[in-house]
Chains A and B, each alone.
Chain A
Amino acid sequence: MTAPILTIEKLDLAIGGAPILRSVDMVVEAGKVHALVGESGSGKSMTALTTMQLLPHGANTTGTLRFGDEDLLTASEERMCALRGDDIGMVFQEPMTALNPVKTIGEQVAEGIRWHTGTNRPDAEQRAAIMLKRVGLPTTRFPLDRYPHELSGGQRQRVVIAIACALRPKLLIADEPTTALDVVLQAQILDLLRELVAEDGMGLVLISHDLGVVAGMADDITILRHGVVQEAGHAVDVLRRQTHPYTRQLAEASAHVPQWDGRAKPPEITALLDVQNLVKDYPGPRTGLFSRGAPFRAVDDVSFSVPPGRSVGLVGQSGCGKSTLARIVLALDKPTSGIVSFDGMETSRLDDHDPTMALARREMQVVFQDPYGSFNPRQTVERLVAEPLHLEEAPLSKSERRERIAFALDEVGMPADAMRRYPHEFSGGQRQRLAIARAIITRPKLVVCDEPVSALDVSIRAQILDLFAKLNDELGLAYLFITHDLTVARAITHEVMVMDHGRIVERGATADVLDNPQTEAAQRLVAAAPDLNRAIERRAKDTSGISSPFEARKHPSS
């Protein structure tokens, strides 16, 4: 057993008097991946920030927090500045905001090197180039003078990792490093982190809510809930045996499949939504005052149909054109060519003022990914949920409106008095329920769902998936369900379409496509998708004989 890099004992944290962490114990060893798992508000990010001593004002910590032999709780700010970025690196969730948009990637990697080692610029840049090459961005293809906006999300996350690892830290803290990425990029980033841990022998604290990711990566695991450690020990053992009720609850929620009568229903022959030879070009970048580069084809000759009451999944990597397709289906964007017809109305030909369009919009609604961004923060829930009601032909009286709103809220499991409140007073899951209430208030036939559960915790995600299933049963709603999460696609769709570079490359019954993918794009997605049970099986095989139940360390409080 190697020496511990980070030792946390009986750590209590309170911010402004409110307890955040209670008696947390955790030991991170060199060359090991320690997963810190929990739902939002469980205190996992706060544990990371405590380790970095980057807590907000009014924070009060007691207990032990040792980095090697050094006590971090009493370390001076000066000392922490020397440690941060040098011996302790951190990778954040959102690669879009973790990089400074006005500095080149070379400068940003070299910055830390120069600051901590005092080397001159050319040396630092040379080291930066080596580091960027290690994370898969060789200078031949990605020169140091590239700016963050010239890179994709996955490439940016590589730069963030290069910054964190440039000085070969002893400890790397990665806070949800792949949550903002699609599954294929996620698998690549996780591979990269695993390599860095193996080669440099650093300790990695991997903060995640995704048990599938953790099962494939972690040596040790600590499961947090409401700031209290629920279970800790050897990752594969903990996840395989699932002795602690909360661990079992998390595992079940992450593989949750709703009880759903509509699943077995045979499809109808008629098409509710019919898309034919759809093409969408975006103008190319401006190359001169009057000239533009070649247009970018986001959707390339796509045809499909959705029968009434059927749930059709649309899966693919980010940037493959899923969301553009959704916007065209919803008539928020005009296609370059091709036909979209909805319930017999050719919506791609209609403009916004057409009365037929109002009819089509009433029957076709949308739920977005971000439960925070999808509401106007300045309006009450009553007004927000009632938004589509103006499409009704006959104007409603005030009491009729309120009745409709209350009814819609009831259907999504929210109390009627939610009407008077503002969106920020609700949790993410509740907001998503409100977004669904808004979508179903006009009794639509089709709801387009753009990643509606990917910003939610696993247990909340399970509840929202149940809600989608229930609404399909009760209202006969058809879904066009866009997701990059194959577990979700499996749980809630009858059929699935795989999209790649603007084209639909494969489609069929969900189980057939996901169990037996034919095309390269589909195979890539399926192979990259983290899966709890598969990962445990694989890991158990690898480590069989090494870990036995007797060796597994159990947390004293669990």
Chain B
Amino acid sequence: MTDHLVAAEHEDWRLFLRKASANRSFQAGAIITLFIVIMAAVSLVWTPYDVSKLTIPDRLQGPSWAHWFGTDHFGRDIFSMIMEGSRNSIAVALIAVGIGIVIGVPIGCWAAAKRGWIDEVFMRTSDIIFAFPALLSAVMITAIFGPGAVNAIVAIGIFNIPVFARVARGAALSLWPREFILAARAAGKGPARITAEHILPNIANLLLVQGTIQFSLGILAEAGLSYVGLGAQPPATSWGRMLAEAQTMMAIAPQMAIAPGIAIIVTVLGLNLLGDGLRDLLDPKLRRER
């Protein structure tokens, strides 16, 4: 009988793949995300043009076969810069979301499990953090510790912590009085174990959705910091920096703004689709239906 149940686990995997093959938004999201990750990886070793070399005669060209997205005011290839910049943008946003999840979710879950003064302390602290305009505070932090990608990550990440703590706490609070949690407590499981086994899997979909939102906000925040010159420093570039540089050229070379703008939109869209798809695939209720 045991053998047949082990076989069943393989079957679960096959079921997941079969469902994934029917889930359009998961596929579209996965393809877009994969494409962008590959693009960022390839830029480490190769870009169509060298972005650190200025070729003034070629400046401000429109899209052509030689320069897919045109060139900027220094004659650099915009497509190559998008590839190069994707690394900084994605790294900053992804790590900032990671900081938020890794620190924020445990805090939120702990507060929900313990209630009482621990809850109050964490939540009032997050109120205080919320009370500061996030971008201004990030500007302050980078101004104190110096501009650069690492400080931008930390600055954006700090403001993700209360966001995830809140989402996790709110969702966890609504689960704690449920009977299956009571049953787990009656089975002698402690708060940490209940959180790991019962709370987290049930709030994962919310966190996933919040994660994609925070990721897009992270890219935008990085763009904002770069825009005021506190993000990635030249010669390194990022999509936000590109947008900032494009601003003065908007009238004569709109491609300089359009290309990084589209890159941001496509990335955010891809991650949102991926998040939606994953949420559906991981929900056992939707697994067999549809």
10 A-B pairs with CB atoms under 8 Å apart are: A332-B186, A365-B186, A366-B182, A368-B179, A373-B179, A376-B202, A377-B285, A382-B5, A387-B189, A402-B1
Cβ contact within 8 Å between B188 and A370: no
CB of A420 closer than 8 Å to a CB of B: yes
Main secondary structure, interface of B, reads helix
- The residues of B with any CB-CB pair to A shorter than 8 Å are 1-2, 5, 8, 12, 178-180, 182-190, 197-198, 201-202, 282-285, 287-288
A361-403 CB contact bits vs B (8 Å, 1 = yes)?
Answer: 1101110111001111111001010011011000000110010
Q: How far is the CB of B119 from chain A (nearest CB, A)?
A: 15
Lowest 10 A-B CB distances belong to which pairs? A361-B188, A388-B187, A374-B179, A373-B179, A422-B284, A368-B179, A378-B201, A366-B186, A387-B187, A376-B180
Cβ contact within 8 Å between A390 and B188: yes
Total residue contacts A-B, CB cutoff 8 A: 85
Q: Which residues in window 412-429 of A have CB below 8 A to B?
A: 416, 419-420, 422, 424-425
Contact of B202 among A327, A362, A378 (CB under 8 A): A378
Contact of B288 among A361, A366, A425 (CB under 8 A): A425
Q: How far is the CB of B286 from chain A (nearest CB, A)?
A: 10
CB of A529 closer than 8 Å to a CB of B: no
Given A373-B178, A424-B284, CB of A399 within 8 Å of CB of B186:
no
CB of A229 closer than 8 Å to a CB of B: no
> Which of chain B's residues have a CB closer than 8 A to the CB of A438?
183, 187
> Which of chain A's residues have a CB closer than 8 A to the CB of B184?
376, 387
Cβ contact within 8 Å between B188 and A391: yes
- The residues of A with any CB-CB pair to B shorter than 8 Å are 327, 330, 332, 352-353, 357-358, 361-362, 364-366, 368-370, 373-379, 382, 384, 387-388, 390-391, 398-399, 402, 406, 416, 419-420, 422, 424-425, 435, 438
Given A378-B284, A406-B1, A420-B8, CB of A368 within 8 Å of CB of B183:
yes
- Alpha-carbon gap, A25 to B282, bound state (A): 45
Q: How far is the CB of B53 from chain A (nearest CB, A)?
A: 53
Cβ contact within 8 Å between A398 and B2: yes
> Which of chain A's residues have a CB closer than 8 A to the CB of B5?
382, 402, 419-420
> Which of chain B's residues have a CB closer than 8 A to the CB of A366?
182-183, 186
Cβ contact within 8 Å between A374 and B183: yes
Cβ contact within 8 Å between A422 and B285: yes
Main secondary structure, interface of A, reads helix
Q: How far is the CB of B146 from chain A (nearest CB, A)?
A: 43
> Which of chain B's residues have a CB closer than 8 A to the CB of A369?
179
- Alpha-carbon gap, A327 to B185, bound state (A): 10
- Alpha-carbon gap, A424 to B286, bound state (A): 10
Q: How far is the CB of A49 from chain B (nearest CB, A)?
A: 22
Cβ contact within 8 Å between B285 and A390: no
- Alpha-carbon gap, A388 to B186, bound state (A): 8
- Alpha-carbon gap, A357 to B186, bound state (A): 11
- Alpha-carbon gap, A361 to B185, bound state (A): 9
Given A402-B2, A406-B1, A420-B5, CB of A373 within 8 Å of CB of B180:
yes
- Alpha-carbon gap, A402 to B1, bound state (A): 9
Q: How far is the CB of B13 from chain A (nearest CB, A)?
A: 13
> Which of chain B's residues have a CB closer than 8 A to the CB of A435?
183
- Alpha-carbon gap, A390 to B284, bound state (A): 24
Q: How far is the CB of A120 from chain B (nearest CB, A)?
A: 41
- Alpha-carbon gap, A358 to B8, bound state (A): 32
Q: How far is the CB of B74 from chain A (nearest CB, A)?
A: 53
> Which of chain B's residues have a CB closer than 8 A to the CB of A376?
180, 184, 197-198, 201-202
> Which of chain B's residues have a CB closer than 8 A to the CB of A425?
288
- Alpha-carbon gap, A406 to B201, bound state (A): 25
- Alpha-carbon gap, A278 to B179, bound state (A): 24
Q: How far is the CB of B265 from chain A (nearest CB, A)?
A: 33
Cβ contact within 8 Å between B188 and A362: yes
- Alpha-carbon gap, A388 to B189, bound state (A): 8
Cβ contact within 8 Å between B182 and A368: yes
- Alpha-carbon gap, A377 to B178, bound state (A): 12
> Which of chain B's residues have a CB closer than 8 A to the CB of A406?
1
Q: How far is the CB of A372 from chain B (nearest CB, A)?
A: 9
Q: Tell me which of B180, B182, B185, B284 has the highest count of chain A C-beta atoms within 10 A of its own C-beta.
A: B180
Cβ contact within 8 Å between B201 and A352: no
- Alpha-carbon gap, A352 to B192, bound state (A): 12
> Which of chain A's residues have a CB closer than 8 A to the CB of B283?
378
> Which of chain A's residues have a CB closer than 8 A to the CB of B288?
425
Cβ contact within 8 Å between B179 and A361: no
- A332-B185, A378-B202, A384-B180 known; 15 new pairs, CB 8 Å cut-off, are A357-B188, A368-B183, A373-B178, A373-B180, A374-B183, A378-B282, A387-B184, A388-B186, A388-B188, A390-B187, A391-B187, A416-B1, A420-B5, A422-B285, A438-B183
- Alpha-carbon gap, A398 to B180, bound state (A): 23
> Which of chain A's residues have a CB closer than 8 A to the CB of B180?
373-376, 384
> Which of chain A's residues have a CB closer than 8 A to the CB of B284?
377-378, 422, 424
- The chain A residue with its CB closest to the CB of B283 is A378
- Alpha-carbon gap, A416 to B2, bound state (A): 11
Cβ contact within 8 Å between B2 and A399: yes
> Which of chain A's residues have a CB closer than 8 A to the CB of B2?
398-399, 402
- Alpha-carbon gap, A362 to B189, bound state (A): 11
- Alpha-carbon gap, A505 to B284, bound state (A): 47
- The chain B residue with its CB closest to the CB of A441 is B187
- The chain A residue with its CB closest to the CB of B200 is A378
Q: How far is the CB of A364 from chain B (nearest CB, A)?
A: 8
- The chain B residue with its CB closest to the CB of A375 is B180
> Which of chain B's residues have a CB closer than 8 A to the CB of A358?
188
Q: How far is the CB of A236 from chain B (nearest CB, A)?
A: 39
Q: How far is the CB of B124 from chain A (nearest CB, A)?
A: 13
- Alpha-carbon gap, A365 to B185, bound state (A): 10
Q: Tell me which of A362, A387, A419, A425 has the highest count of chain B C-beta atoms within 10 A of its own C-beta.
A: A387
> Which of chain A's residues have a CB closer than 8 A to the CB of B186?
330, 332, 361, 364-366, 388
- Alpha-carbon gap, A209 to B182, bound state (A): 29
- Alpha-carbon gap, A362 to B188, bound state (A): 8
Q: How far is the CB of A436 from chain B (nearest CB, A)?
A: 12
> Which of chain B's residues have a CB closer than 8 A to the CB of A353?
190
Q: How far is the CB of B197 from chain A (nearest CB, A)?
A: 8
- The chain B residue with its CB closest to the CB of A357 is B188
> Which of chain B's residues have a CB closer than 8 A to the CB of A391?
187-188
- Alpha-carbon gap, A438 to B178, bound state (A): 17
- The chain A residue with its CB closest to the CB of B3 is A399
- The chain A residue with its CB closest to the CB of B12 is A420
- Alpha-carbon gap, A377 to B198, bound state (A): 9
Cβ contact within 8 Å between A352 and B179: no
Q: How far is the CB of B195 from chain A (nearest CB, A)?
A: 12
Q: How far is the CB of A122 from chain B (nearest CB, A)?
A: 40
- The chain A residue with its CB closest to the CB of B2 is A399
> Which of chain B's residues have a CB closer than 8 A to the CB of A399?
2
> Which of chain B's residues have a CB closer than 8 A to the CB of A377?
202, 284-285
> Which of chain B's residues have a CB closer than 8 A to the CB of A387?
183-184, 187, 189
Q: How far is the CB of A523 from chain B (nearest CB, A)?
A: 32
Q: How far is the CB of B16 from chain A (nearest CB, A)?
A: 14
- Alpha-carbon gap, A112 to B197, bound state (A): 47
> Which of chain A's residues have a CB closer than 8 A to the CB of B202?
376-378
- Alpha-carbon gap, A368 to B178, bound state (A): 11
Q: How far is the CB of A366 from chain B (nearest CB, A)?
A: 4
- Alpha-carbon gap, A353 to B190, bound state (A): 8
> Which of chain B's residues have a CB closer than 8 A to the CB of A402?
1-2, 5
